[in-house]
Amino acid sequence: MAEQGSAAAAPPSELKIRLAGSTEHSWCKAVPGGTGITVLALLLSKPPDISLLQNALHKLQNSNPILKSQLHYESSTNSYSYIIPSTSHLQIQPFDLSSTVQILRRLKTSDLTSVSDFHLILEHEINQNSWINTGTSSDSDTDIFFASIYQLENEKSVVALRIHTSACDRAAALALLKKLLELVSGEDGEGTELELLKKMEVGLGIEEYIPAGKASKPFWARGIDMVGYGLNSLRFSNLKFMDSESTRGSQVVKLQLNKEETDRILDGCKTRDIKLCGLLAAAGLIAAHSSKGLNENQWEKYAIVTLINCRSILDPVLSPDFPGFYHSAILNTHDVKGGDDLWELAKRSYTSFINAKNNNKHFTDMGDLNFLMCRAIDNPGLTPSSSLRTSLISVFEDPVIDTSSTVHQEIGLEDFIGCASVHGVGPSIAIFDTIRDGQLDCACVYPFPLHTREQMQELIGEMKKILVDC
């Protein structure tokens, strides 16, 4: 089935328009190339009521107006804006069992015997780029939000929500999912529904909420930092590129630990006063160095990007579920050699991140990193093998904490994965970590065939071994 197009145009008098901020502009440039297609995929044990689900999505879009917007590109000014109609027009796209089987048949190859249909549907969705032509002309406006339902065998279904990252970061997407599940279950009645549907304003770009003075940087310092970022990038080591010429997509490998293993590493982090992000990054660095079979004393320099949810540190403070993109990034580099101790490297990695954060680098360097990302998009040849890799790994400062509930049981939710594509500009491994019912569950997204599934399964397997052995 062909994907449905954008919503019918609303009368001009009913439209609101907001220009994209600088960080949003960078994402608007990144998504057409394949980075920033956010997907929430839900595996259900029973077919959902499509009309109930669609009605719930309409309510959520109307209460979170940025999510019902269309993305508009103006070629004369090279700018993006969000056109927001008065009401939601989203239509769920259903795929019956026959259509789903056809999709899965195209995706399955001989090396996918252990990959579930749910996993393949997730990968299919993060490679559906509804915005691929955004930024080429002013004639087409494209919806921010798409929803699909895939029918699987044994009466199971997959609900997939696909959202443009510039209007919905990981925190906003997970808040949206939580509200959606509560609305669909109808467990707590009308009072809770009214609370869930409290209408939020359309926020401004993150730059408009940075506390006064926090983003200040002298001109000469900005110039030095820009040169430093540029020169350092030429020294970064990368994973071996398997195919840098073919058309790219995103694929996913899971990293999962049981509750006992998760408890041990979380206790280790607490004892050493570091966060999980530092440990995951360190395990990734050690595994990457090990994968190359280098001399144990040979050093390599790797880059880590740590993403920070800034809502609680903006002015004014934004609520945890405020829709939009309100993450910032800190880029750190680390020299790694064979035989490095995991906890020592994790401490070093986390300390360099927290020192940068304490010095407001997530605000002062926001414009620099956005500029460099756009430069890489426009000039892939500036990156090794035109790979568009800007770091080895990206992690989030804090994991998602999820606990099964009666709501999950009510709708038959067996599993869900939330992640975003990275096959345009970005890292070789983007880790979307969740602690679900006390167990670490990470979706590790990578660009394919720049890296292969076999290569990444070996790397993530080595990361798991390093974490468990610690």
pLDDT tens per residue, range 414-450: 999 999 999 999 999 999 999 999 999 999 999 999 9
Would the pLDDT of 10 be above 50? no
Q: Where are the beta strands (DSSP E) in 223-299?
A: 249-256
| Burial class of residue 402 in the structure, from the number of CB atoms within 10 Å of its CB (0-12 exposed, 13-18 middle, 19+ buried) | middle
If you average pLDDT over residues 343-361, what whole number do you get? 96
Task: Tell me: do 221 and 297 sit in the same domain.
Answer: yes
Neighbours of 139 (CB within 10 A): 9
Of 119-133, 213-227, 261-275, which gets the smallest average pLDDT? 213-227
Asked if pLDDT for residue 2 goes beyond 50, the answer is no
Predicted confidence (pLDDT) at residue 1 exceeds the cutoff of 50: no
Q: Note whether residue 1 is domain-resident.
A: no
Residues 130, 260, single domain; the answer is no
Task: Tell me the pLDDT tens digit for each residue of 260-273.
Answer: 999 999 999 999 99
Taking the C-alpha atoms of residue 90 and residue 144, their distance in angstroms, rounded to an integer, is: 10
Mention every residue, 6+ apart, whose C-beta is less than 8 A from residue 363. Answer: 210, 214, 215, 328
> Residue range 357-364: average pLDDT?
95
Cβ atoms within 10 A of the Cβ of 377, count?
Answer: 18
CA dist 396 → 18, 171, 274, 400 (Å): 28, 11, 13, 9
Residues 121 and 241 grouped into a single domain? no
The number of distinct structural domains making up the chain is: 2
Residue 241 has pLDDT above 70, yes or no: yes
193 and 253 in a single domain? The answer is no
Kindly state the average pLDDT of the residues 117-126.
96
User: How many CB atoms sit inside 10 A of residue 63's CB?
Assistant: 17
Whether residue 9 is predicted with pLDDT greater than 50 in this model: the reply is: no
Q: Confirm whether 380 is domain-assigned.
A: yes
Q: Are residues 153 and 228 in the same domain?
A: no
Task: Provide the CATH number for the domain around residue 75.
Answer: 3.30.559.10
Per-chain mean pLDDT for the chain: 89
Residue 106 has pLDDT above 80, yes or no: yes
Q: How many CB atoms lie within 10 A of CB 429?
A: 29
Cα distance between residue 295 and residue 355, in whole Å:
31
pLDDT band at 215 (very low <50, low <70, confident <90, very high): confident
Domain match, 127 and 263 both = no
Average pLDDT over residues 135-149: 86
d(CA 334, CA 73) in angstroms, rounded, equals: 39
State the burial class of residue 220 (Cβ atoms within 10 Å of its Cβ: 0-12, 13-18, 19+).
exposed
CATH number at residue 273: 3.30.559.30
Q: Say yes or no: 187 and 293 in one domain.
A: no
Q: What is the pLDDT of residue 113?
A: 59
Pick the more confident residue, 372 or 111: 372
- Distance (Å, rounded) from C-alpha 38 to C-alpha 83? 20
What pLDDT sits at residue 44?
Answer: 95
Band (236; pLDDT cuts 50, 70, 90)? confident
426 belongs to a structural domain: yes
Q: Residue 228: its pLDDT value, please?
A: 59
Whether 5 is in a domain gets the answer no
Residue 226 has pLDDT above 60, yes or no: no
Question: For residue 230, what pLDDT band results from cuts at 50, 70 and 90?
Answer: low
DSSP string, 384-453: GGG--EEEEEEEESS-EEE---HHHHHHTEEEEEEEEEESSSEEEEEEEEEEETTEEEEEEEEEETTS-H
Q: Which of 184, 206, 228 is the last residue of a domain?
A: 206
pLDDT at 167 over 90: yes
Residues in the chain: 470
Query: Which has the minimum average pLDDT: 11-20, 50-59, 170-179, 432-441?
Result: 11-20
pLDDT at 4 over 50: no
pLDDT above 80: residue 284: yes
6 lies in some domain: no
Is residue 173 located within the same domain as residue 265? no
Q: Is the pTM of this model over 0.95?
A: no
Half-sphere exposure of 433 (CA within 13 A, CB side): 24
Mean pLDDT value of segment 51-70: 94
Last residue of a domain, one of 175, 206, 237: 206
Distances (CA, A) of 431 to 185, 242, 256, 336, 400: 30, 20, 12, 20, 12
Q: Which residue has the higher pLDDT, 294 or 110?
A: 294
- Of 112 and 50, the one with more pLDDT: 50
pLDDT band at 8 (very low <50, low <70, confident <90, very high): very low
pLDDT digits (tens, 9 = 90+) for 147-165: 999 999 889 999 999 999 9
Reply yes or no on whether the pLDDT at 77 is more than 60: yes
**Could you tell me the two tokens for 65?**
């107006």
Instruction: Examine the domain organization and report whether 252 and 389 are in the same domain.
Output: yes
Nearest-5° Cα angle at 181, 179 to 184: 105
Distance, first Cα to last Cα, the chain: 48
- What is the Cα–Cα distance from 122 to 318, expressed in whole angstroms? 30
- Using pLDDT thresholds of 50, 70 and 90, give the confidence band for residue 115: confident
Shared-domain flag, residues 350 and 423: yes
Report yes or no on 4 lying in a domain.
no
Strand order, beta sheet including 142-143: 16-19, 79-84, 70-74, 142-143
Structural domain boundaries, residue 456 = 214-469
389 domain-assigned? yes
The reply to whether 347 falls in a domain is: yes
Is the pLDDT at 7 greater than 60? The verdict is: no
CA 98 to chain centre: 30
Q: Are residues 253 and 333 in the same domain?
A: yes
Average confidence (pLDDT) over 59-77: 93
Domain-ending residue, one of 172, 206, 240: 206
**Percent of the chain clearing pLDDT 90 (strictly above):** 73
pLDDT of residue 136: 77
Clarify whether residues 332 and 463 are in a common domain. Answer: yes
